[in-house]
Amino acid sequence: MTHASSSTQNPVLKDAADARHDRQFRWLLTATAVFVLVTLAGAALSMLWGGRSVLASEGLHFFTSSDWNPVENKYGALVPIYGTLVTAAIAMLIAVPVSFGIAFFLTEVAPRWMRGPVGTAIELLAGIPSIIYGMWGFFVLMPVMREYMIPWLDTHIGPLPIIGALFRGPPIGAGMLTSGLVLSIMVVPFIASTMREVFMTVPARLKESAYALGATKWEVSWDIVLPYTRSAVIGGVFLGLGRALGETMAVAFVIGNSVGFTTSLLEPSTTIAALIANDFGEATETYRAALLLLGFVLFLVTFVVLALARLMLSNLSRKEGNR
């Protein structure tokens, strides 16, 4: 009798224990998510609080002025904001097509014996410290830009209307174009690895059917592979963009670190991260507050970019009927 009662109650006790463990696991996952959100909010608000004095004195003029003069306590963040956005844009214009070419080559064109070693080598590039990229840019890329690329751009593209103003400047070597080139090399491994992984998820039957109908490799990549993996590809691109927006040391080596506003891509400028890294250690109290507020601006810029990426992915998912 006792044995029968015990055997009857065991499933009930087991279900109750499973339900309790499931609740505990759900609470643990919720706590980790809340911890991340609280940490991000705390970091952002701490920078905003640290720069409150400059924000109170400058107001919205802080975001629209290009006058950055710590000696006179005048702070305008337009130049570093502009430099951050422009260098990241240059990096993405170069890195996205190159990454797509690498990913498609490794999944569709390269022989099997080559795919593993080349793919591993590209992924290893992501582990190189950013200061190494900066040193390479300073000692190798800048002389090339100074002696060959900038004189050619200034001579052949500088006289053109509209876009010519972007490519006129002295052959210094440091500038937003050089920084964008270095950043593009840095973000290629992230984007290419993501694209390669998602391209490998495309069913072989789809591609084989297209090839059987006479499609070329370009048509397969453009009409089959990209539509099938569009959401994941865009996510990988914005992952690389977030990396480019926040890069510090590599950019500090090659951008020239000038706070003067210029539209030329060949002249020295600065970014938010590079300006903070260069000046934070020796800054006065007021200047440190301005740099903290600048860090909050970088946080906002990165957050807005990633939020737009998430919104774009959500819209794509709805159009594809996934939601």
pLDDT digits (tens, 9 = 90+) for 213-226: 888 888 888 888 88
The residue-averaged pLDDT of 264-280 equals 91
Average pLDDT over all residues of the chain: 86
3-class DSSP state of 269: strand
The predicted pLDDT at position 149 comes to 92
Tell me the per-residue pLDDT of 294-312, one tens digit each, with 9 for 90 and over.
Answer: 999 998 888 887 787 778 7
Residue pair 139/159 in contact by the 8 Å Cβ criterion: no
Q: Is the pLDDT at 270 greater than 90, yes or no?
A: yes
Of the two residues 16 and 297, the one the predictor is more confident about is 297
DSSP designation for 158? T
Backbone phi, psi, residue 256, to 5° = 100, -20
Q: Is the pLDDT at 292 greater than 60, yes or no?
A: yes
Residues 158 and 179: their CA atoms lie apart, in Å, by 19
Task: Tell which residue, 96, 93, 91, 127, has the closest CA to residue 233.
Answer: 96
Task: Tell which residue, 205, 249, 211, 252, has the closest CA to residue 228.
Answer: 205
Q: Is the pLDDT at 254 greater than 70, yes or no?
A: yes
Angle at 137 between CA 134 and CA 139, to 5 degrees: 105
Q: Both tokens of residue 225?
A: 């592979």
- Look up the pTM and report it: 0.86
Residues 322 and 317: their CA atoms lie apart, in Å, by 5
Residues 253 and 247: their CA atoms lie apart, in Å, by 11
